[in-house]
Structure 1
Amino acid sequence: MPELIQAYWPYILIAFVIGIAVAWFAFAASRKTSVTTISKDVLDDDQSPAARNQALIDAPVKSAGVDDVPAAEAEPAPVPTPTKAADDLTQIKGLGPKIAVMLGEMGITDIAQIAAWDDAEIARVDAKLGRFQGRITRDNWVEQAKHLAQGDADAFADKFGNNG
């Protein structure tokens, strides 16, 4: 037997090292590691607020003045409307109740206002319509509004269909 150990000792040593490696992976490496921290969060009890948050809280409020708004972002004021009752904007094909509410919030309550829009006003209003963008030109709101504002119901019906 000592002759066998003497002849095969390198192989026995390799087998022993492999056995130790397999045992280490099976027992030590497969354990889940738990992470524990000793630092406390700012929101824990008995902790003061973070310095940067306190600086933001204590900072004076800066109100946006006319000088603070860049010229490119300044929007023209909506055209003031007469004190008469608002028109039913939903007479225009493609302008439903949700869009009518959005236009009302922008100060657009009269069909004559829509009839007077130019390309710049169309672009300004269209940018505020959100998911309804493109409807003004696609559905020809300005042309429809011109017919309705003039009271030309026959021309409106010929071009855009019956109203209602």
Structure 2
Amino acid sequence: MFRGWNFLLGEIWVLIALAALLGLVVGWLIWGRREVVTGPGDVTGAGDDSEARRLAGELEVCRAQGQEAAARIAALETQLAAAQVAPVEAGPIRLSAPKGGQADDLKLIKGVGPKLEGLLNQLGFWHFDQIASWSEADIGWVDENLETFKGRVTRDDWVAQAKVLAAGGVPD
């Protein structure tokens, strides 16, 4: 059974050596001709180095612009912190507490009961003049934030009633 193995082993070594030699030649042809870049503008190997120099120049310009942008961002952040600018919220003007510590009785507006008055106070509305100054956009904002009472502002015409009450009158 193993009588012809000596011939096969000798032939296999020859084929392995030929394959290795062929691999070295192909590897040299593929990888041996590539350029080696060791630093900006320093190119060794075949070919023109103008492309590498151009790219290195562009890289330096980008780095300089990045440093300028970072400095500008830092300056703007410092200015913003110094100004203590708070983000502007949408909606009508709201107060954290009633003026002079005394709120108007918003229940005098038709359609506003104790629960709705409490909700208006939570939203920052304490006075008739606040409600009297609402625009259409403000009314939309209030309607969105009135939870289960949506549409009451326009349906009961709170703005007109608040204008009368702010002037010291009595609404119809």
Bin of the TM-score, shorter chain as denominator length: 0.3 to 0.5
Higher strand share: 2
Greater radius of gyration (CA) = 2
TM-score by length of 1: 0.46
Higher helix share: 2
